[in-house]
Structure formats: structure tokens, C-alpha cells
Amino acid sequence: MTGQTERLKIDIPVAVEGKYDKIKLASVIDAQIITTDGFGVFRSEEKKLLIRRLAEPRGLIVLTDSDGAGLVIRNYFRSILPKDKLINLYTPKIEGRERRKKAPSKAGLLGVEGIDTDTLRELFYPFAAGSETKKRGREVTKADFFADGLSGGDGSAERRARLCGRLGLPDNISANALLAAVNLLSDYDGYKELLKNA
């Protein structure tokens, strides 16, 4: 796959943190992309109303950096949107620094703007208009997480962190966010395979 591939048409609006994230993502997908202006979204009633309105028809995809600030912004979206209208995508945890910056972020991880285009395409491919939806097995449930020691018991946080590592997800996401991510990325059989190696 090359960076010159045609952009994916995404019919669901997408929220990212800043203008450089938007520029990078616009080179990969053809979608309505809005920015949170970092934490600026917390102070803007107009932006909050816009986000709610955009999410009404088909939901909203949220793609923030895999750091503490990104988690805070995701939690804000959870507070203003119904659960069924929020789709969280996660960039892999890759250490590095964006080219335009003199120093890496506080977490030392690449943000959305620093992720390569092929990885971004893979993240958004399941949402592309006309993409083939492969037949999937049953979804993973909260009961599965409990039975497999990923929630509600001693050591469950460590087990979740290991599973996050296998999936390339930030290890600071909640059990519910991890469950949603697992169901986006896999089905039950794939999840059980991941657990064998986690």
C-alpha cells in the first residue's frame, strides 16, 4: 500500500485534536473532520452543540493521541454524547516525535499527525463507504471480560494492560473502552487467540 492511494470515503464525521491532525487525516480519508482545538472544546458551547448535532445521524468517530490529554478529551466526548453515538479509534503506541516539533510529547509517543498513512487507512477501512464487511463471529461481552480475569478481580488491570499491548492500544483506557476496541478490531475467536499470547 502506498501513500498515493485514493482517500477512503467515510460517511461518519471524525473528531481530532488539532489542525495538524486534521491535515494528516484529510490526506487519508474523505470525511467531515472537526478539531477539538485541544482542550479548547471544553470552553466552547458552540463547538459542543456542533459535535452533538454532527453525531445525531450516524455517530462520531473520535481519534485522539494515545496520551493523557487524549484520554481527557475522550472522556469529555463520553460526557456529552450518548454511548451509541461514540466510536473510539486508537492510534498505536509508537515512541517518537513529530517532524515539526523540536521535542517529543510529554508521553514520548507519536500523535495522530505522526502516524503513517497506511496505519491510519487500516484504522478507518472498516468505516469506508462500500468496504466489504466480513462475516464476524459473536461479540466479546463484559461477562467474557469478567470470566477471563480482565475485570472485577485481582490483577485484572495488569491483564488489560497486557491485552492493550498486544493490540497496540494505550494502556490507560478503561475496561469499557477496551471492550469496545476489542469488538471493533476482532470477534470472540480472535479475542481468545489474543488472550493466549497476552
Cell of residue 3, nine digits:
501513500
Q: Which fold has domain 8-127?
A: Dna Topoisomerase Vi A Subunit; Chain: A, domain 2 (3.40.1360)
Quote the pLDDT of residue 68: 81
Predicted pLDDT of residue 148: 92
pLDDT reported for residue 14: 95
Residue appearing with cell numbers 515512541: 95
What's 59's DSSP letter? -
pLDDT of 183 = 78
Handedness of CA 144, 89, 184, 51 (dihedral sign): positive
Are 113 and 83 a contacting pair, CB within 8 Å? no
In which residue ranges of the chain is pLDDT below 50? 1-3, 132-135
Burial grade of 133 (CB within 10 A; 0-12, 13-18, 19 or more): exposed
Report pLDDT for 129: 75
> Which pLDDT belongs to residue 111?
81
What is the spatial distance between Cα 169 and Cα 166, in angstroms, rounded to a whole number? Answer: 8
pLDDT at 195: 87
Query: Residue 92 has what pLDDT?
Result: 80
Task: Tell me the domain boundaries of the chain.
Answer: 8-127, 142-197
